[in-house]
Structure 1
Amino acid sequence: MKAEKKSKIASKKASPKWFFWIVGVFSLCVLGLLLIGNFSKTEAVINYKNQPYIGDAAAPVKIVEFGDYKCPVCKNFNATNFPQIKEKYVETGIATFYFMNDPFINTDSNRSALFAETVYQELGNETFWKFHDQLYSKQPEDSKYEAIDLYTESFLKDTLKEIANDDDTNKVMEAFQQKKAKSALEQDLLHVKNLKVDGTPTLFINGKKFEGNTWDEFNQMVEDAAKEKK
């Protein structure tokens, strides 16, 4: 199950079913329509260059998550399912895991995405992932906050200060205010448009969209992708 794209673009897209949704997690994101699909057979062109990732860049399988830092389903995915993927596929050298932004829920979705891109550009991959996890961990439980401009510049700065020193934080703030990472975020948004990403989180495995609804289907798709590269 994925978060439905609503707000300004709700009328344009419907949300497909996201296989990682856990019973008991209730949020505004759950209001999207559920669709059960098959694996996409068309391999999309994805530019992985200059994207934050975890794992060996030379791994045979490339997994891309499109997410929004304000999406409760994305937070749940990051806390419960990503660790499983990391342990089974990333740490074993089978897959590289990438994160790309799809900020659609509110204006501060875009702000937090740009800020995270700035952290990546200015402080590197390792610090980005620390900030990534920290930002999701600070997401409120109440889904009603989605309509609130919560992730202000000061909020993002304070969150970064929890994992970075003052000099690094000031470096990021200066770059953020100058919008130095704008082109990087625009590249993510271009992928969203070209790949027809219609909800968060959405996964692509070696350029193919995962549209299954079980963990077994996900495992099978990853394993098939690895075999194709041998």
Structure 2
Amino acid sequence: MGSVTSKSTPPPGADRSRHRGAAAATPSSGRRSGPSARLASREAEARRRRLRWLTLGTAAVVVLAVALAVAATRQPEPGEGAVPADVFQLERQPMLGSPDAPVTVVEFADFKCPYCRDFTLHEFPRFKAAYVDTGKVRFYFINYPFIGPDSDTAAEALEAVYAQDPEGAWAFIERVMQRQGPEDQQWATPEFLVELAREAVPSIDAERLAADLRARRYRDEVEADRAIARQVGVQGTPAIFVDGRFVDDWSFEGLQAAVEEALARRQGGAAPGDAE
């Protein structure tokens, strides 16, 4: 018996054009039948199922990677749980105030950041008089250079000055901020920074400082500070933490509110790192 070409007749009311398309896609040998056809159908379905799972798995991995990247780089939200004090490595950072002060404030800054200059010259003097000089706050400075290559040079200069004269580091910070150049220019050269150190810290050994900058002797310390900033989620400067809690408003009034809240927690018996 010769082969018979199968035909498909749509049921009444069906879309004939759709069925014509299906028929056109059917091989001329006719519709498959028998065990081999069923096996082929099951294999095709299994391939489609594996492809669906592969697609879903790939999408899930992409979503997870994006979520982790966002979580790792986002700026902390005000009021989030406190960062443990040991993360900041405070024992090697410049500190101003009484070591027995109840509240710890940490600033991350870039010497080329104009907002850091505003904070240092306009907000910090009032804050220092109200809280650091009165024994309520210990204030720490941590480098977070990110604006330009000379941000690193200025940060390394601070580390070198601090190694020679820990108390003189604060005068150096203020002088660099006073003489800050344009953000888009590389003004923080070793020669200029040595000149500023001479002006701000008369006891500084300028030759030793210049040699330290040429050798990049304190590069590792700056890299360690940068790693701390990334670990706690800093994305811009100035970034200020009061008892480990990020404070979005770095004005005097914003910091005043945060410090008063920290003091109230202390009076209530809570440790700096305790969650609210």
Please classify the TM superposition score into its range, dividing by the shorter chain length: 0.7 to 0.9
Matched, 1:53 2:95: yes
Matched, 1:201 2:201: no
Question: Structure 1's 166 and 177: CA in aligned 2 closer, same or farther, altered over 3 A?
Answer: farther
In the superposition, the TM-score normalised over structure 1's length comes to 0.76
Counterpart amino acid of residue 176 in structure 2: L
* Contact map agreement 1:39 1:211 (CA 8 A) in 2: no
* Contact map agreement 2:249 2:255 (CA 8 A) in 1: yes
Offset of residue 113 of structure 1 = 0.6
The structure whose Rg is larger is 2
* Contact map agreement 1:53 1:96 (CA 8 A) in 2: yes
Aligned-partner Cα distance in 2 for 1:80–1:91: 17
Q: Residue 263 of structure 2 corresponds to which residue in structure 1? A: 226
Counterpart amino acid of residue 41 in structure 1: G
In the superposition, the TM-score normalised over structure 2's length comes to 0.64
Question: Structure 1's 54 and 215: CA in aligned 2 closer, same or farther, altered over 3 A?
Answer: closer
Aligned-partner Cα distance in 2 for 1:190–1:152: 24
Question: Structure 1's 165 and 96: CA in aligned 2 closer, same or farther, altered over 3 A?
Answer: closer
Aligned-partner Cα distance in 2 for 1:131–1:213: 21
* Contact map agreement 1:54 1:98 (CA 8 A) in 2: yes
Question: Structure 1's 225 and 110: CA in aligned 2 closer, same or farther, altered over 3 A?
Answer: same
Q: Residue 115 of structure 1 corresponds to which residue in structure 2? A: 157
What is the number of residues matched between the two proteins? 194
Q: Residue 21 of structure 2 corresponds to which residue in structure 1? A: none
Offset of residue 14 of structure 1 = 7.6
Aligned-partner Cα distance in 2 for 1:200–1:47: 19
Given candidates 159, 163, 168, the residue that maps to 1:127 is: 168
Post-superposition Cα deviations, 1:67-123, rounded to whole Å, max 9, x if no partner, equal 11111111011011001110111011100111111111111011111111111012x
Matched, 1:62 2:104: yes
Post-superposition Cα deviations, 1:142-174, rounded to whole Å, max 9, x if no partner, equal xxx322211111111121222345871112222
* Contact map agreement 2:144 2:225 (CA 8 A) in 1: yes
Offset of residue 127 of structure 1 = 1.3
Q: Residue 106 of structure 1 corresponds to which residue in structure 2? A: 148
Given candidates 176, 180, 183, the residue that maps to 2:220 is: 183
Offset of residue 213 of structure 1 = 7.2
* Percent sequence identity over aligned pairs: 30
Offset of residue 52 of structure 1 = 0.5
**SS state at 2:83 partner:** coil
Given candidates 113, 116, 123, the residue that maps to 1:81 is: 123
Q: Residue 55 of structure 2 corresponds to which residue in structure 1? A: none
Counterpart amino acid of residue 105 in structure 2: I
Q: Residue 6 of structure 1 corresponds to which residue in structure 2? A: none
* Structure 1 unpaired stretches of 5+: 1-11, 17-36
The structure whose RCO (Cα within 8 Å, separation 6+) is larger is 1
Across the aligned residues of Structure 1 and Structure 2, the Cα RMSD in angstroms comes to 2.3
Question: Structure 1's 108 and 55: CA in aligned 2 closer, same or farther, altered over 3 A?
Answer: same
Aligned-partner Cα distance in 2 for 1:81–1:169: 30
Post-superposition Cα deviations, 1:6-59, rounded to whole Å, max 9, x if no partner, equal xxxxxx96889xxxxxxxxxxxxxxxxxxxx54223334322011111101121
* Structure 2 unpaired stretches of 5+: 1-71, 268-276
